[in-house]
Chain A
């Protein structure tokens, strides 16, 4: 097949296809901008006090800023890939007709992924233009020549080219990956269904993640680790835990479905329960971005609580020693670290919104794919509110336990680092070790142990926010259900 034929077939489509193309391009635009920003931050070298933003000044903090930006770009990319299923029935008919005309299975998948790639390329090129324009507009140094953002540096041109091309390639790959269960035949499109239910083995991933995350803290006294080794352990632990929670959601969905079928009464629980049993992986696919964001958010909130406890310990220690000025900890230190945590939480909020958009796309697609069944149920007298309640129930029942697991896992990881901070042992330890110049505290009665509290309120806000985002997405998705239960659907070809 010639490239011109491939392009023509890839861009052929209806209004829904146009919407899919726009959404895909928009996702690719956002992902490209986020990745270019990350590359720009990484292009700043050395101590950079030419910036007013402290997160950009210290070389040690910039990888964290870049990592946060990449964290934002990943679910956006996933959304771009997920958009491939939007308007699926019409596209399925088109692909089946093309197969009937003689296209091979590989060519039909190529047409579907080329569509995503073309839209993504459009988005990533627009993203590059937007990045360059915004960079110029925001480049306003103050009187001392300092800038808020690194608008004076650009990543190397090869890096820019690679990033602009990487986004369409990745989104096309994600799209093709999501199509792996879809078989396009000349007679129509069928989906492979796994007959065996998911097993609870992702629990092992969570356990392995927790163990890896705990290694640097628990073995710190026995042996010293380099900074990179510690980061590797913590990173691998966090990633394994996230993967465990995301994959474990399938098992949760399946278990909830079985419980609903066994103990539920009425058609709502029957419909919702059977959907969860039939496709338990749907929760893992659609909620992956959201759950990952919630775990990252829970880690950030728990770490903020650990920092707050540590700063409180500095104050108590300084008071115990009778130091009114100076002492342990700089006065502006807390605000700096809290600012960094706030940045992560902004990223988490952004990711949650994008992930909720992904939930909406997936939900709309699953409703449209079953529109004839829904229309037939409505025609036989099943009230629309019963169908809406079933869709709501099948989304929320696995989500709530999965969210609780994600919050608990994120908080537990940080609690592996420290759960209590003792204050006032320094003088005794100094004397016992025979070190000279040990300064006795003026108020030894203030010696205490501070327990790092669990940030219940903040965790509840995070979980509630994620739940709210999904509720809004489901609410919007139910509008599609209303249109899909129109009896005209029974006559559609």
Chain B
């Protein structure tokens, strides 16, 4: 059986600076994969390429046997509101919208009615334990609450793959572990695969498998943080 998502010989440069120099990675249905490595090794670039945010300069990114690197920008954007969820360290919530509007956004963009989208969004806020913040704006929430809302937004469409780039990097250790625990719990409930970029051993410990990047290539020794299950 082929992998749900795979990158083959993925190359990406920023001008003359290579960020990825031929990376291979496969993610199966419901699998949680941690991508670790030192700063500047290309972890985030790999995640952006796999999520269709960036187009690789060479190599292929295949999702359900389709090379999404060949898709248009608009088609890849639509994928992010149906099959992919994206979670960053910060900056992903629209500051001017309330929590429930933020969570409802992917559904609204996909053409859902306002009432229906708000109702589904409210359920997700409840699921992540922040139902009481539905009418609050991100500026009035703590970092942990914002990240729970962002998680609800990333999962509201019940994506097949969740891409999380240092999702707890801006949180204290305790809050970070709580948020990550919820992300993993909900992902497992939904059968959603997770690609988790981190340089924290405690975060990588939640993954089924860990891959290590160094200078834009996979570390052949596989000696990363060494704590994945």
- A interface vs B, CB < 8 Å? 1-2, 4-5, 8, 12-14, 17, 90, 93-94, 96-107, 185-187, 493
Contacts and interface: CB of A to CB of B under 8 A. Distances in A.
Interface string B103-117: 001101111011000
B53 interface: yes
B94 A94 contact: yes
Nearest to A187: B53
Contacts of B101: 8
Interface stretch (B7-15, B35-43, B60-68, B71-79): B71-79
Contacts of A1: 108-109, 111
A104 B77 contact: yes
Given A4-B114, A101-B153, A186-B86, A17 B109 contact: no
Instruction: Pick the 4 closest A-B CB pairs, nearest first.
Output: A102-B81, A104-B74, A12-B96, A104-B77
B106 A101 contact: yes
B147 to A, nearest CB: 14
8 contacts: A5-B109, A5-B114, A14-B96, A93-B91, A100-B92, A101-B105, A101-B109, A103-B77
B53 A102 contact: no
Interface of B: 48, 53, 73-74, 77-82, 86, 88, 90-97, 101, 105-106, 108-111, 113-114, 153
A2 B95 CA distance: 21
B59 to A, nearest CB: 20
Contacts of B90: 493
Nearest to A97: B94
A198 B90 CA distance: 39
Contacts of B73: 104-105
Contact of A99 (B77, B79, B114): B77
B80 to A, nearest CB: 4
Given A12-B94, A94-B94, A100-B53, 11 more contacts: A1-B109, A2-B113, A8-B101, A8-B108, A97-B95, A101-B153, A102-B82, A102-B109, A103-B77, A104-B73, A493-B91
B53 A186 contact: yes
A77 B101 CA distance: 33
A407 B108 CA distance: 54
A467 to B, nearest CB: 39
A12 B104 CA distance: 14
Contact of B94 (A2, A98, A106, A187): A98
Nearest to A94: B94
A17 to B, nearest CB: 7
B24 to A, nearest CB: 24
A106 B96 contact: no
A97 B106 CA distance: 11
B47 to A, nearest CB: 11
Contacts of B153: 101
In this complex, which of A14, A98, A101, A103 has the most chain B Cβ atoms within 10 angstroms of its Cβ? A101
A104 B53 CA distance: 11
B141 to A, nearest CB: 13
Contacts of B78: 102, 104
Contacts of A106: 74
Contacts of B91: 93, 96-97, 493
B76 to A, nearest CB: 9
Contacts of A98: 94, 105, 109
A13 B81 contact: no
A275 B139 CA distance: 34
Contacts of B53: 100, 185-187
A8 B113 CA distance: 13
A98 B101 CA distance: 11
B5 to A, nearest CB: 17
B57 to A, nearest CB: 16
A427 B12 CA distance: 87
In this complex, which of A12, A90, A97, A185 has the most chain B Cβ atoms within 10 angstroms of its Cβ? A97
A186 B96 contact: no
A326 to B, nearest CB: 73
B40 to A, nearest CB: 16
Nearest to B75: A104
A100 B86 contact: yes
A185 B101 CA distance: 21
B95 A93 contact: yes
Nearest to A107: B109
A101 B80 contact: yes
Nearest to B103: A101
Given A105-B77, A186-B53, A187-B48, A97 B111 contact: no
B157 to A, nearest CB: 8
A102 B81 CA distance: 5
Contacts of B95: 14, 90, 93-94, 97
Contacts of A5: 108-109, 114
A97 B93 contact: yes
Contacts of A99: 77
In this complex, which of A98, A100, A107, A493 has the most chain B Cβ atoms within 10 angstroms of its Cβ? A100
Contacts of A8: 101, 108, 114
Contacts of A100: 53, 80, 86, 88, 92
Contacts of B48: 187
Nearest to B79: A102
A111 to B, nearest CB: 10
A107 B105 CA distance: 13
A103 B81 CA distance: 8
A42 to B, nearest CB: 43
Contacts of B96: 12-14, 17, 94
B49 to A, nearest CB: 12
A4 B116 CA distance: 13
In this complex, which of B82, B88, B95 has the most chain A Cβ atoms within 10 angstroms of its Cβ? B95
A152 to B, nearest CB: 48
Nearest to B157: A102
In this complex, which of B77, B110, B111 has the most chain A Cβ atoms within 10 angstroms of its Cβ? B77
A187 B165 CA distance: 12
Contacts of A17: 96
Contact of A105 (B74, B86, B88): B74
A222 to B, nearest CB: 59
B94 A186 contact: no
A98 B110 CA distance: 12
Contacts of B108: 1-2, 5, 8
A27 B106 CA distance: 34
A137 B209 CA distance: 78
